[in-house]
Amino acid sequence: MLTLYIARHGQTEWNIDKRMQGWENSDLTPLGLANAEALGKKLKGIQFQAAYVSTSGRAVDSARAMLQNRSIPFIKDDLFREISLGSWEGKTYDDIQQHDRGRFEAYFKAPEQYISDGGESFAEFEVRVRQALGHIVHNHQEGSVLLVTHSVFILMLLNIVKNRPINEIWNSSYVHDTALAVVTISEKGDMTILKEGDGDHRIKQADVTW
């Protein structure tokens, strides 16, 4: 039995600004780093065989904060990056709503019909997430593995585990920064969600030293 621990990266500067990130990157905030460290403490008793990490800086920095000085394989791969948002990346939600309302509404309300301007469709993204999951399962049939990635990636992965169509992707627990999901995968390929949207480790803004 493989147990996959799936964590979102910590809060970033663009999260605060409500900017779309996608394949672009912004730095972790002090709170984002602190929450990543807090999740690491929560998972300190788990003996991970490896960590699979998106190549985006915010995910890499979060994973390092979670793992501290553990000596395990640290595997960065573009397969684990967030959905590519093309021309939207770096723009605020308000700006996109104002200038690209139809596409914005499709993204959240009819994702199966969403057509990206220079990025990935949800169908293309689903193929990549399936490949990413298959890559991990191929390399690990048992034990525990950490995956540090992004919110929409996690939602798509859970949607796949739930065997649901693309238009159901948003119907899962909200993925806060450093939220944790846990999925078990049997040798026969049966997948079970043990936990999703877990943020009990997250600390309040006032508790962070700036």
How much is the pTM?
Answer: 0.95
CATH class of the 6-32+44-204 domain in this structure: alpha beta
Q: Per residue of the chain (210 residues), what is the pLDDT tens digit?
A: 999 999 999 999 999 999 999 999 999 999 999 999 999 999 999 999 999 999 999 999 999 999 998 999 999 999 999 999 999 999 999 999 999 999 999 999 999 999 999 999 999 999 999 999 999 999 999 999 999 999 999 999 999 999 999 999 999 999 999 999 999 999 999 999 999 999 999 986 645 443
Report the alpha-carbon distance of residue 210 to residue 101 in Å, rounded. Answer: 37
Strand partners, 181: 6
β-sheet bridge partners, residue 28: 12
Q: Where are the domains of the chain?
A: 6-32+44-204
Round to whole Å and give the CA distance between 173 and 155.
Answer: 8
Question: Which amino acid is located at 39 in the chain?
Answer: L
